[in-house]
Chain A
Amino acid sequence: MDESVNPQPNRKVLIIEDEYFISELYVRALEKAGYEVVLAIDGKDGFDKALSDAFDIILLDIMVPTMTGTEILERLRERSPAIKAKIIIITNLEQGEENKQKIEQQADGYIIKAEITPKQLVGFLNNIK
């Protein structure tokens, strides 16, 4: 799989992630691959941006301030059921069984950040519809 070329140019990605080093790496890798990236470092801000429905992919961290990723996911599905973005959870936190089931129902994908390098993330997103 070619990881460097975005097969669907001009796709917009929203990253909701508060760890500065991680978001720096992700933004850099995605922009290099031709994605347009918007970053939110705060849960509420991220939620409002997501509601605009201007994105093809939303990368959603779980441990973010003011509103957790699971809350954002739940409320997005409630408020905006027809949202076009694929919502991918990105986290390093193992979920309890209940949370896990909820995420499996509501998210489109799930990534353990430590298991994947920025380039591999790009490859993963390139394969998402």
Chain B
Amino acid sequence: MDHSKKLKTQVYGQIAFGLLAVGAVSVGLWYILFEQMDLDSIVALILAFAGIIGFALVLGELLTRVVLEPIQTLTNAILHVAPNHENAPSSPPNLDAVRIGRELVSSMALQIYQMASHESAKEVETDSRRESIIQAVNVVNHLPLPLFVLNSERQITNASESGIAYVGLESGKLFGQPLEDTIRLEFPSEKTLSSWIDECQKNKVTSTRLWERVRVTLPDQSMKQCDISAHYNRDNPSGAEFIITFFDRTERYSQDDESLGFVALAVHELRTPLTMLRGYIEVLEDELADSVDEEMRDFMHKMNVAAAQLTIFVNNILNVARIEQNQLMMNLTEADWSKTINSVLDDMDVRAKINGITIERNIDKDIPTVGIDNISIYEVVANLIDNAIKYSKGSEKIIVSSRVGDNGLIETTVQDFGIGMPTSVTTNLFEKFYRNHRTRGKAAGTGLGLYLIKSIISAHGGQVWVNSKEGEGSTFGFSVVPYSQLTDEQKQGDGKDIIRQSHGWVKNHSMYRR
């Protein structure tokens, strides 16, 4: 189980830290006493020993406390539910105070409480579901975390008091409602709570999962960021199939948001002069073209292309920062694929031409409409063409093809006939900051582009791939999903009345209908 691995890593970290600290202090002490204070070597040795022992004792005590916390918390949980135990604590353990292995501990604690509710349900000797649910209520109520119990229909059947307070609705309005109708959850990947529930109900008896950085919108429209852990137990006698626990991390994650705020500010400062450059270059190109010679016109085109390239890069920085913070939102809408791709290619044609390259288009006619986020797809295609141009060196064309693949997804490939790469490097190509060491120095780039492409395409439910041969060129491909195959949940991403384009959006009612 992931959680116990995580705990293991954490404990290992604590012990390793302790050993390192003792080592560092020993060296430090020896240096101070022997080298700096010039003490007699025997005295220095004795003093150093005493110092290290003292330090090790204190550190050992501290680390032991941290490492034992999970066990103590679980012990307290067991004592808490144990009937008539003389040392039984009156309140449940505070899971939030556990510093390491919190996920594992909370999962175990919940199982303890579930088993306890099972036992007490037996004692009452009514196997009516209602009775045992009441038992579960008593246990659940005391947990200090927002916690919700769902039945197989995904409706909330129960919640801890702090859960009810967290949502801010009366229990009457909360119970019986599907959880995700009440609280909007946005997950960092396509593995959502809902898809996990589907999977559990299909082929699992018990299962546990943890999500980090889930964006939560409460009924009063306030936004939180939580880690969410979920437990599934098909045979739970209380009928409580799913137990969902929220760990509110808004404060911690909003500190990260401020770092995105920094990126946003830096991007603003880059974009402002960029806007001016692009504007003045356009004026020059438009109004000076007839009065200067061919070479000057060519220079102006190149300035234009360079400015456009910088725009893409600035957006890449922003988007990678968003991905890191789970803030890259996709608004999937229905789009005509050949129109979409052709309009990006129109923009990229100038850039290719300046580099002596033509883009050949090979777009099938009968492609069904796709579900895409216009802005992000623009960035995917622009980045792929940009790469193809960069690594083309000497060759004169790039071929862009789109067709419906065997699996029904819409596949698009960008093929160049440039320097290519050996298979050994293609495997890591979509990792962040990965660049082929052979091309480093030969072509500019940060290695952000492909990472971004992969993130965007996975968020669309598609895939990315690459085929390459050294000296012969590379083919990069990606797939997107037909609009008809999107789930309702994916389609809900956006209000229908907003038309999104690469440079912003406009409300439908503000546009001419044509």
Contact = CB atoms under 8 A, between A and B. Distances in A.
Nearest to A4: B286
Contacts of A117: 278-279, 282
5 nearest A-B residue pairs (beta carbon): A115-B503, A92-B271, A114-B271, A25-B279, A109-B506
Contacts of A21: 276, 279-280
Contacts, number: 95
Given A25-B279, A114-B275, A63 B268 contact: yes
Given A22-B279, A97-B327, A98-B223, A128 B264 contact: no
12 contacts: A21-B280, A22-B276, A89-B504, A92-B275, A93-B265, A94-B268, A97-B327, A112-B271, A117-B279, A118-B283, A124-B506, A129-B512
A128 B510 contact: yes
A92 B267 contact: yes
Interface of A: 19, 21-22, 25-26, 28, 63, 86, 88-89, 92-94, 96-98, 104, 107-120, 124, 127-129
Contacts of B502: 115
Nearest to A98: B223
Contacts of B311: 114-115
A129 B503 CA distance: 19
B264 A94 contact: yes
B261 interface: yes
Contacts of A113: 271-272, 275
B318 interface: yes
Interface residues of B, number: 36
A27 B232 CA distance: 62
| A interface: dominant SS | mixed
A114 B506 contact: no
| B interface: dominant SS | helix
Contacts of B27: none
B503 A118 contact: no
A112 B280 contact: no
B496 interface: no
A110 B282 contact: no
Contacts of A96: 257, 261
Given A22-B276, A94-B264, A114-B274, A108 B282 contact: no
With most chain A CB atoms within 10 A of its CB, the pick from B223, B272, B314 is B272
Contacts of A22: 272, 275-276, 279
Given A94-B267, A129-B510, A109 B282 contact: no
Nearest to A116: B503
A52 to B, nearest CB: 21
Contact of A109 (B274, B283, B318, B504): B504
Given A109-B506, A129-B509, 16 more contacts: A22-B272, A22-B276, A25-B276, A86-B510, A88-B506, A92-B272, A93-B265, A96-B261, A97-B215, A97-B327, A109-B504, A115-B311, A117-B282, A120-B503, A127-B511, A128-B506
A88 B183 CA distance: 32
Contacts of B507: 107-109
Nearest to A103: B505
Nearest to B498: A104
A119 B510 contact: no
Contacts of B318: 94
Nearest to B282: A117
A119 B286 contact: yes
A109 B510 CA distance: 8
A129 B511 contact: yes
Contacts of A112: 271, 503-504
A113 B327 CA distance: 21
A47 to B, nearest CB: 21
Contacts of A108: 506-507, 510
B152 to A, nearest CB: 33
B346 to A, nearest CB: 12
Contacts of B498: 104
A109 B511 CA distance: 10
Contacts of A26: 279
Contacts of A116: 503-504
B264 A115 contact: no
Contacts of B268: 63, 92-94
A104 B327 CA distance: 17
Contacts of B509: 129
A110 B504 contact: yes
Contacts of B280: 21, 25
A114 B264 CA distance: 14
